Amino acid sequence: MAKLRFTFGTMGSGKSTQALQIHHNLRARGLTTILMTQLDRAEGRVSSRLGVSAEAEVVEAATDLFDLVRQRAKSLGHLNAVICDEAQFYDAAQCEQLARVVDELGVDVYAFGLLTTFQGVMFPGSARMMELADMRTEIQVEARCWCGERATHNARFVDGVQVISGATVVVGDTGGASAAAEVSYDLLCRAHWMEGARAARGDQLELLGDDVARPGDHPDRSGPVEVDPEAVPTPLHATHTAGDNA
């Protein structure tokens, strides 16, 4: 019975390498597969940092994955599996289309992707994959933070400083930064990712001067509270007189 499998991990954990390995192994056994990617390092290919790569279908935002797979299955005569790299960039509808590939076409789907963005929240595509997948597996490659602890978060740096704002997908720069800014990524443990995130939020707050503060948003409740006795409503049970016990 066909399954929808979602395998996730941090950057550099070997997601693309594993996708390529599955693609190779299935084909070596005579099975028919298609390999798909979106926003990979090399257009039209799935590439691994180890240096291996393979041709792949490029998934666009408007691609109907169910229709694409159905057409490929018809042209190939038979299709055993679909391997999807960079699945975090798929939208929710495309994740649901992959579920249809499994349920209606009986084709296995192996999806690989990051779980969270550099802002520390789940990619919409990964969140939907976690909701729909028959099997969810975290890659157990032990990536490490600079401190030696297990790395759990992807961090974005602009000119060497961690940032938590900007476009989720960056091609060339960070949108708000100049084209000359150096954008890089690193893996951090939760503690050091949060430390950098707090510093980034502090830098943003310092941009607000006293003249733009809005004290009305947070009224001062630190002093004594004056109460007008005449304005206090009388409890209903206290409106009965001593003769009203009947």
Q: Could you give phi then psi for residue 155, rounded to 5 degrees?
A: -125, 140
Q: What are the structure tokens assigned to 38, written together?
A: 């979106």
Neighbours of 214 (CB within 10 A): 7
Torsion of CA 169, 19, 92, 134, to 10 degrees: -150
Q: What are the structure tokens assigned to 84, written together?
A: 């999807």
Told to judge if 86 belongs to the known catalytic residues of this protein, a careful annotator would answer yes
Closest CA to 11 of 67, 59, 49, 47: 49
Going from the C-alpha of 103 to that of each of 2, 49, 62, 128, the distances in angstroms are 7, 33, 22, 16
DSSP state of 60: P
Q: Could you give phi then psi for residue 136, rounded to 5 degrees?
A: -125, 125
Structural contact between residues 113 and 123, judged by C-beta atoms closer than 8 angstroms: yes
* DSSP-derived 3-state class of residue 88: helix
Catalytic hit among 57, 86, 138, 230: 86
DSSP E strand boundaries for 91-223? 108-113, 135-138, 153-158, 161-163, 183-188
User: Catalytic residue numbers?
Assistant: 86
